[in-house]
Structure 1
């Protein structure tokens, strides 16, 4: 019987380590959460009011891009542009949309031939941004966030 008490006492004394609770700091929890966070994806893309009828994330993204492309194309087409040679170029426009829904152009890449044929192309694109409807910013984990994206626009003139 003494051996039984001795074995039970030994087990109880050595098993105390199993009951220790390790405290985790809030910084450690935050660092673990940040490791699982995908910074390059948003839960909802920026959108216009007319894109709200779309139900999927990709559908809203496509609607936003199409609406933006159509607005820029429409504004460029309303201006009478005379060129001396055929153009077939792609404008690469890098946009940024703030967490308040304000759009700004970060970078504008255009071929030198297109720029010499249509010197006011940047002004036309900027003017088309002023006529856009209200933009609702992107959402990440329930918060409005700043986003940046690149939009190619094809310019063809004969």
Structure 2
């Protein structure tokens, strides 16, 4: 019986560490969350009201980009652009949509030949988006966030 009591006392003294609650600081929790965060992806892409009926993340992104391209094509078709040589180029628009739904073109990348043939291309592209419908910003973890992406635009003038 003495041995059993001695073993019980030793077990009780050694096991005290198992009952201590370890406190994790909020900073450690934040660092763990930030490591699991994918900063390059959003839960929902920016969208227009016309794309609300579309289901699926990829379909909404496609609807948004298609709507932007349609607006751009419609506005550019109103202009009579005259060139001395044929122009076939892909222009890359670096677009930013902030957390309030404000649309801005950050950069326009095109070839030197295209810029030479169509010197007003940047202003034409910029003004084509002046009358956009309301944009709903992207959402990440139930928060509206700023997004930035590239929109390729094919310029083909004969």
Query: Normalising by structure 2, what TM-score?
Result: 0.97
Spell out the pairing of 1:23-102 with structure 2 (5 A cutoff): 23-102=23-102
Distance apart, 1:112 and its partner CA: 1.4
Match of 2:135 in 1: 135
Structure 1 unpaired stretches of 5+: none
Q: Deviations over 1:123-155 (max 9, x none)?
A: 111111111111110000011000000000000
Q: Deviations over 1:24-59 (max 9, x none)?
A: 000000100111010000000000111111110000
RMSD, aligned α-carbons: 0.8
Match of 2:114 in 1: 114
Helix, strand or coil at the partner of 1:78: coil
Helix, strand or coil at the partner of 1:115: helix
How far apart are the structure 2 equivalents of 1:116 and 1:86?
A: 12
Distance apart, 1:110 and its partner CA: 1.1
Structure 1 segments of 4+ aligned residues over 2 angstroms from their partners: none
Helix, strand or coil at the partner of 2:90: strand
Equivalent residue pairs, number: 158
